[in-house]
Structure formats: structure tokens, C-alpha cells
Chain A
């Protein structure tokens, strides 16, 4: 069966250029970037090229880019490394920040969780009001993974406190305000899994969690994931141009579904959003059942975050918008990307309409339009 992939916020396929660069790196440049000899030097060159490519994409200097195993590690380095007494974060963070904050609390730090509007956006005034003399960090994501809503990082950066932003979903989609700390992941931008970056600027210093080497200017020990970094760098050179066509596809999908399926509503559709994500609620439809039905028809979509399988609670992000549990459970996230075209979008709209009608016919709770 032909598969149509509409879950690009979960991960993306590897770009041809990233694959080619990684293959040549794995084949030709096996050296250890820390070695003094020429094999090491060649490897080091490739690592630094990758660093420059990532730096250019995120609007930073190369020496501000630390390669990590991904955004989760970068978040942990940032949040634990600052040893904050008080952190302000949002109620819609990815668990890769939310669970780090919960652990900070367990270790004695204070954490304030600011709410979001019905449009899925943090109000900078709420953050300002939550400031305390001992507030050492504000950590708010740049773009929400479930909704695509853009958060006011620029305003938060003016509050006089270091800002960290999990910017995984923002890269290639919006411009980057310079802030103290940002986390990135390669596999969300058509790069490989298992590599990401923490971008540090403005003289922030972090306490180390791991020890064992002076790699990455002493900020992250361990022999570098060279081919991963090279793939990340290559993928980072290809960003930006596809955002406008992506938005056209997303709008076609969103409009098509809302027009075709009765009682379907876009969650947080009024806020500022990136161009590839839409989160749609189908009243009277079990999201889990719709996901399975669409998957068996060849369409990959998502209900809530991918990590939530087996979890009882419905998406905390949708709950934070003020949705009921049933509404949250009736919601599906569609995220378009480079693999999609208009014909695929139209086929998906058709499949969603068919599945929603079938599931509603079965549902004892749905009482019609």
C-alpha cells in the first residue's frame, strides 16, 4: 500500500543531500575530530563545516553551537546547567522541557507554569507578572509541536532574564530572535535522528552534568557524532524555501476537512501559526480510533504527542487550551512536509471524511449535527 506521511512534526525523512553527505562522511572520514593527525584533521573540518551550516540556519556564531544527541539532551543541559532557583515556563511545553521542570521542582527549585490563551499562545504579561528577584530562567518553546502556534520569544527576551527556548519546531519556519539558549533537533528538519544542538550565547555559563573530555569547547564531553552532525549541517542548508508551499498545502487540508466534515473545528486556529501544522477536533469521534483507521488506509497522522501512547491523560496541550477531555481525545494533528503534494492532501481529506462518518455512525455519544 502506498503510504502518505502527514506527521512531519514527529519526524521527517532524511533529505537526499543529508544522506549523501553522511554516506561520504561515514565512508571517507572515519577519523576522530580530536586527533592531531591528518585523518583527524579531515574529520574536524567536516565537523566545523557542519557547525557553520547549523549556525547560519539558526542565526548564531559557530562557536555558540554545541552538538548534542538531540533536543532533549540540549534541554536538560540548559535547564539543569543554569541551576535556576526559579523558572517560568508554559503549560504547553513538550515533555522534554515539562518533565525536566518537574524534576527541577523535585530537586527544590521553584517553577511557575504560565497558561496560554485559547489561541494557544503565552501572554508575555503573564510571564512578567510571574517574575521574582530569584527568577533565573524563562523557558518557553518557540513553536508548539501539537498546534504549530508561535510563542512571543522576542518579547520574553526583553524581560531581563535569560531565556531558553525549545526551538525544535521553529527551525526553517520562522526567524530566530537571539536569546541565551535554544535547543534544536536534526530529525525534525530532514536530518538524521540522534543529533541536535544547544545554541548558547551572551556569555551564559552552564554547570556540566557529564565529564570525560574537552570536546565541544569543554561543554559536552564525548567523541562527536560526526556523521550525524554532518547530516544535520547538510539538512540545515536546505531550509526556508519550502515554508510558503507548505502553508498552501496545510490551508488546503484544513479548509478541505472543515468544509467536508461536519462538526470539525481547528484547535487554536486563530493564533499565529507556522505553516505546516493543523490540529483538528472531530466531535463525537475517538481520536485514537481515527488514527488507527487512517493508518490502515495508508495515512500517518498523530493524536497528541507521539510519546503519549499508553498514557491515560489526553493531551496536556489541548487541555491547556480549555478543551474538555472528550474534546481533547477527539483531536488529530496533521503536519505536512516536503513529502506531500496537493493530490495527497485531497486524498487525505477524502479519507478523513469517510472515517469520521463511519466512526460517528458507531458512536453512542454522538447525536448528529
Chain B
């Protein structure tokens, strides 16, 4: 595939001594560490930057047994600094906590309270990692930024557009979180790991002698300990001196029958089965939540199936906005297998997605990402 060769050869082009440095976003994890090491080895001038996004000690109510493995812990900053020292590159810790709270944490909390299931990573990419971080790269005199994301990126001369493709390692592919990046953002980004599989990355980390080569992968939402987002929201409200989100109410069936009570709509997500506390003849699933009526609506598995939905804030990545419906494979959750659908752009940055076959648990607040084979065509937020 010709386009992939272009991508793979990016790092091997002749490097002149006067070239602007590349700013590498270093989390202290193995992936971004390998990116820094790889670019350095290819002869680029590299500046390492770690974004301090969230103070893990900030919400004392959250039982946070061990802060490592999540972003911005002292351990991770220590690791990133050690890698930079090992590579002999300039390294800085930059504080983006204000922006992160405004652009990621607050929308995350608001979204849950609206009855959605948000994805903070996408917001962080759109408004922090590929925005404020670019400003900081400018300050460092860097034209390009590089991250450890698993995605492929190349420029198509014919289309005059940056193209994003799924990563070689399908189990690590992160394009589900990157659909929001605009062409100007992509023009300055590099994803050097896009063509590699994770085991190769780990081998490279060992070969480069990186002190984080054996470090486990991070999981979960970085600022939410143990994945307990409801506890996070409660603690955040308490810290802000706001009344706790009073969204407790009734659990009702799709036909409106009252089945029980619940402790807050934000504690439930579409498709959830456990934790309902209702005895029923057949398994019940959360079909939707409604913070206005404070109801959690439950039903049978079939009730979760949906064929058509709309998305907002659509961003077209590898193609310009189409004026006719396009065929695509659409992914509605990170682990969802993309399913064939027809996507029709609507005015105002919205679009309709119609699956060929109804899919389970289309969840407001999650992203729908449109793929054309390996290409990321675009995406939007499920309404």
C-alpha cells in the first residue's frame, strides 16, 4: 500500500542540522517514551514535554490506593524525566490543569448529569493535546508534535488532505478517540507508532534501553480512580461546594411500569445489566436514562437495538464533507466491531447514521466513528 510507505518513510528522510525540533508529548509510559527515543535515533532534534493535567491528590474523598498507572502521578513524571535524561533531550513539565478542567473534566461531569456516557479522552485530544500542547510546541520552536497514539497519518496529494488510518496493531488502535482532529491539527501531528504492533514497541523500548520498557500499560480514564466515575462526580461536586447531583428516582420499564428506585441517573449507562437491584423473570438492561424525569428506563435485550441515530459536531477527517450519503463501517463504542451503515450529512454539523442491521446500545455521549476500510472518514458525538 503506497500510502503506508509514505508514512513509514517519514522518519527516515534526510535530517538537516537546522531542522526545528519535534515536541514529543511524554506521559512517562512506554509508548510515548519509544516515540521520543525513535525520533532521537532518527536524528531529529527532540524536546520532551509532560502535560500536568490533573492533580491526583485533589479530591481527598476518592480512595486512591496507588496513583501510578494513571496520568500525571508523580511516578509518571519521574519516569518521563528519567527517559528524557536517558535520551539526553531537553524536558519540561507543563501545567495544563486549568485547561483540562475547563475543556475535559467539566464537560465530562455535565455530560453524565445530562444522562450521557461521555468520552473524556476525545475531548482531551481535541482541546488539550492537539490544541494547548501545540501552543507550547510553538513556544519551544517546534513545528511538529509527536505522540504515542496508535493511528496512522499521511498526506494524500490527490485529495490534498491528511488521511488517518487504523493502526497496524488492531488491539491498540486509538482512532476511535482521534476522529475530532481537524486538518490543521493533523498537519502538525506525528504518530510514529501507527505502523507498529505493541510487542515491537516493547522490543524497541528494550533496544533503546528505556527505563520504562517493562512498565505496564495504563488503563481507564486517567483522572478517575478505579473507573468509579460516579464517586468522582460526587467528590468533584463536594469540592466545588455544589449540592450533590440529585438525580435519584425511579426505575421504570419501557411501558412505564415502576420497578424500583435508583441512586442517581448518572450511575447508569445504556446497556448496563448489573447493579439494578431488581428481581425479574428475565435479565433487564438499561435502555436509557432521563435526568429530567430522573428515570432509568429498563427493558429486554431487544429494546437496546437501534438502527438509526444522529450525531452532532461531526468532523470529516480523510474526506471532505460529502453532499451525498456515503457507505461506511460505523463504530459506536471503543470495543464495538464497526458495522455497515449509511451516513448522511445534515446541516449544522450533524449527520444521520443508519445501520444495515440494528446495533445494540447506541449510547448518547459516546462517539460514532465512520470508517472506510482502514481509513477514518470522520466521526461525531451520538445524540
Q: Give the B interface residue count (CB, 8 A).
A: 18
Given contacts A295-B90, A296-B47, A296-B141, contact A310 B95 (CB under 8 A): yes
Instruction: Say yes or no for A290: interface residue by CB 8 A criterion.
Output: yes
Flag the segment in B132-140, B207-215, B338-346 that touches A.
B132-140
Task: Tell me how far the C-beta of B366 lies from the nearest C-beta in chain A, rounded to whole angstroms.
Answer: 30
Tell me if B92 counts as interface (CB < 8 A to partner A).
Answer: yes
Question: CB of A292 within 8 A of chain B?
Answer: yes
CB distance from A255 to the nearest CB of B (A): 25
CA distance A311 to B139 in the complex (A): 20
A-chain residues with CB within 8 Å of residue B136 when the two chains form the complex:
288-289, 292
Q: How many A residues, CB 8 Å from partner?
A: 16
Tell me if B95 and A312 are in contact (CB < 8 A).
yes
Q: Which residues of A contact B140 (CB under 8 A)?
A: 292-293, 296
A362 contacts B by Cβ under 8 Å: yes
Q: Chain B: which residue is nearest A355 at the CB level?
A: B139
Specify which chain A residues have a CB less than 8 angstroms from the CB of B95 in the assembled complex: 288, 310-312
A312 adjacent to B97 (CB under 8 Å): yes
Question: Chain B 116-150, CB within 8 Å of chain A: the 1/0 string?
Answer: 00000000000000000001101111000000000
Which of A289, A309, A310, A312 interacts with B139 by CB under 8 Å? A289
Inter-chain contact count A-B, CB under 8 Å? Answer: 42
A263-293, CB under 8 A of B: which get 1 and which 0? 0000000000000000000000010111011
Query: In this assembly, does B94 line the interface, its C-beta being within 8 Å of a C-beta of chain A?
Result: yes
Whether the Cβ atoms of B92 and A362 lie closer than 8 Å is no
Q: What 0/1 pattern do residues 212 to 224 of B give for CB contact below 8 A with A?
A: 0000000000000
Of the candidates B93, B98, B135, the one whose C-beta lies within 8 Å of that of A362 is B135
Give B62-121 interface residues, CB cut-off 8 Å to A: 77, 90, 92-95, 97-98
Q: Provide the residues of chain B in CB contact with A292, threshold 8 Å.
A: 92, 94, 136, 139-140
At the interface, yes or no: A258 with Cβ under 8 Å from chain B? no
B307 at the interface (CB under 8 A from A): no
A359 interface residue, CB < 8 Å from B?
yes
What are 27 A-B pairs with beta-carbon distances under 8 A? Answer: A286-B135, A288-B94, A288-B95, A288-B136, A289-B136, A292-B94, A292-B136, A292-B139, A292-B140, A293-B139, A293-B140, A295-B92, A296-B47, A296-B140, A296-B141, A309-B93, A310-B77, A310-B93, A311-B95, A312-B55, A312-B98, A358-B138, A358-B139, A359-B138, A359-B139, A362-B138, A362-B139
CB within 8 Å of A: which residues of B? 21, 47, 52, 55, 77, 90, 92-95, 97-98, 135-136, 138-141
The 5 A-B residue pairs with the shortest CB-CB distance in the complex, in nearest-first order? A289-B139, A293-B139, A362-B138, A312-B97, A292-B92
Give me the interface of A with B, judged by CB distance under 8 Å. 286, 288-290, 292-293, 295-296, 309-312, 355, 358-359, 362
